[in-house]
A and B are shown apart, each in its own frame.
Chain A
């Protein structure tokens, strides 16, 4: 594209030349695919709960421009602004989550939603990227020996967030946040001995959760031995992939979306498998893998510690969420409420993901002049 000359020094011009256009393009593609799939999967769900067939589609299309603006706006921000934004958002979402726990709306036995003038908001979605960026900042402070006990602060923030998520209760998100923060700590230089120790603690914790938390016990049991309980969702999903075969039954021909309550959110991947086939699914997997690996490669090339940590943390979040969702759909993991980024329907999720993507794009922008070793000075421009 030659819309912007290389000599163009306007904000937009600089953005165009410094942003990672591969990731931008891939995310754009995901957003388009997600919109199409919301069209495919959500009407039958909406009809089943006696709403206007295009209820979800309309909401999605209304929120999409907002999301795009957020993504673009945030991606313009320099790293310092990203930090400040994250801190503000963290404080804000902590407050909202406290509110959720007290005056929140209860759905399916969990308090996760907050009603705001006809719209419901899920603050935990915004908490995740904010926490990650904040933790990245703190981890990098620790390394800078600036006297700030960064690691402690970061872990404190994590503990607060995970605790609040667990109280909702939303163990899936608590687990996700824990893994991502753990991964970031790992990248930030956690000693290997501690890594091993934490893995051991995690394993022991997992066993305890299995033994003493009935809800976890039942999920794992059903995963390990499908005959032991209701595996309706997972069985239906697996059937969907089988029925779809390599090329799918064709758009609109699927039946899974009429049966599964979460066809437009947690189980949209199965809808893709049934209607568009395994090859389309593989393309989608490749798209996610591309974003994750490209993102990690760019984080690898980052020249400062905060950028490296924040970018990789956000990508961990994005990638883990995608991988877990798809693995659950394929019965590789026990079921866990996790949405497929940009593909699953969800208002809060869409906005929060736009924010996350905006932050990733902002952090991964090429910044001429910051290179220290000299190796990448030439590459950046």
Chain B
């Protein structure tokens, strides 16, 4: 359209006529502006479309049921009733931790009519109501006061029936542990806002917060109960200051029972001492004593530098600088590897270790996971400790379990890995589907070494000379090793305070379960001829546990005659 000439005419047009009637001769410039305006209106439209869509998306995000969970997580704690924390059950589905719906009683004091009467009525229903405090709260004139927490449904209904205006209930959730102390250290507890503070509650806090299906543990409450019960008896009998115990599947690392004494009631955890909350199985690190000879012997056998019948001279105590290494059950003669293990000779063990040397020893212990914090679902994990530098003396003392401290969990894992055919196991407290089980770990010792270790351990329990014979349960081929270590205090070993422990497996010919029992500072009694060593304290305790749990775990008993024949045959190798 030819527009330029029109513009030059400069016809006067009253301004208020422009637009409504339209002036064709002005359209050139106007049209360009309108076209530009249209382009930009498109942009404006797009922005609005985006804004309204964002609002729509946000609405869906907030309000639609499938998005509730995520949305709630973003809110500050306590702003809304949170997702119900997942239950925790044992391997048979028995509830260990669950939630109880409770309510708290709140009031808008401006709406409550007769304060005195209200307090009186409430006190009738709530014996634990602090009458003075409630009266003050109501008199405060505030629109929000919390009068009482943890109402039972019955109390809630009763208060509702009172029909007092201005009172309201807010639903709450309380974590309940129906088994009380039974699994205190493994399962742990939560704070008032349901944040996991210890045990599985802490270690798997996020998983539990997500709610949904129950979390199934590998714990078996029956085994747990038997273990804890025997431990309680032993603690009482030997006046020990504490105890620790664990039952583990040697083939897949599943922990069936884990107990530490003293323990506490997670339902009322606030009154418990640090001592009671201390998990001796995973957090405590101890010099284990002779049970370490299992590792020393396996190391030597697996290295091929000595066989079961090779002899080391244990005639004289070893004197090195200011230390003397002596034997508890001294034989004062050269002994075979089998005898050194059976009689728990420190001198022999030290000599065996020297044959391998410090580096090889360190590497072997490293391979068994004894030099690092284990991977486990609990966060209460102790650090192992060992001498630095690792001199010749250390090599010798560590051979029989002194100078190096590990947690009972590490100990159990290492022994399980040695006896199960030699594959490293990963300890776990959480049940997994058969398909999800982690691959067996790397081979740490040969199958032959594994078998030899099993029979050496069987000799300790199955023969009259063995220190662990009180752990024997006919028919279940219990094998094991005792360990008694003097406790250190201020850098010195105490003669009157010891850690007595027993690590055992059953059945020896095809091991399925590992049991570890440790007593902290047991005292000798008349029946034990005042001995407080492991053979008299920890070993019989472990035996009692095995007697109770082996049948319920479905371990097939082996005829005593067959067992005896096998043992004799193995002894014959000697």
Contact = CB atoms under 8 A, between A and B. Distances in A.
A327 B55 contact: yes
B162 interface: no
Contact of A296 (B15, B27, B48, B60): B48
B41 A187 contact: yes
A304 B38 CA distance: 11
A93 B80 CA distance: 46
Contact of A289 (B21, B31, B52, B58): B52
Interface string B19-34: 1111010110111011
B52 A242 contact: no
Nearest to A310: B19
A326 to B, nearest CB: 5
Contacts of A347: none
A303 interface: yes
A34 interface: no
Interface in B73-119: 75-76, 79-80
B37 A370 contact: no
Contacts of B20: 78-80, 304, 367, 370
Which of A143, A245, A282 is packed against the most chain B CB atoms within 10 Å? A143
A144 B29 contact: yes
A188 B80 CA distance: 49
Interface in B374-409: none
B52 A288 contact: yes
Interface in B130-181: none
A245 B68 CA distance: 9
Contact of A187 (B15, B30, B40, B71): B40
A309 B38 CA distance: 10
B26 A144 contact: yes
A305 interface: yes
Contacts of A293: 45, 48-49
B41 A296 contact: yes
Query: Chain A interface residue count: which class?
Result: 35 or more
A309 B80 CA distance: 47
A304 B24 CA distance: 11
A300 B38 contact: yes
Interface stretch (A12-20, A54-62, A98-106, A233-241): A233-241
A323 B51 contact: yes
Contacts of A316: 44
A297 B52 contact: no
Contacts of B490: none
A341 interface: no
B144 to A, nearest CB: 10
A183 to B, nearest CB: 6
B65 interface: yes
Contacts of A277: 63
Given A187-B41, A242-B62, A227 B76 contact: yes
B62 A83 contact: no
B141 to A, nearest CB: 16
B55 A323 contact: yes
Contact of A370 (B21, B31, B64, B72): B21
A189 interface: yes
Given A289-B49, A300-B42, A304-B19, A278 B62 contact: yes
A246 B352 CA distance: 75
B192 interface: no
B37 A297 contact: no
A292 B55 contact: no
B11 to A, nearest CB: 12
Given A289-B52, A304-B18, A278 B64 contact: yes
B552 interface: no
Contacts of A76: none
Interface of A: 78-80, 83-84, 140-141, 143-146, 148, 183, 186-189, 226-227, 235, 238-239, 241-242, 244-246, 273, 277-278, 281-282, 285-286, 288-289, 292-293, 296-297, 299-300, 302-309, 312, 316, 319, 323, 326-327, 330, 332, 367, 369-373
Interface of B: 15-22, 24, 26-27, 29-31, 33-34, 36-38, 40-42, 44-45, 48-49, 51-52, 54-56, 58-60, 62-65, 68, 71-72, 75-76, 79-80
Given A187-B44, A370-B19, A370-B20, 16 more contacts: A141-B15, A143-B33, A187-B41, A273-B62, A277-B63, A281-B59, A282-B60, A286-B56, A289-B52, A300-B41, A302-B34, A304-B20, A306-B18, A323-B51, A330-B59, A332-B58
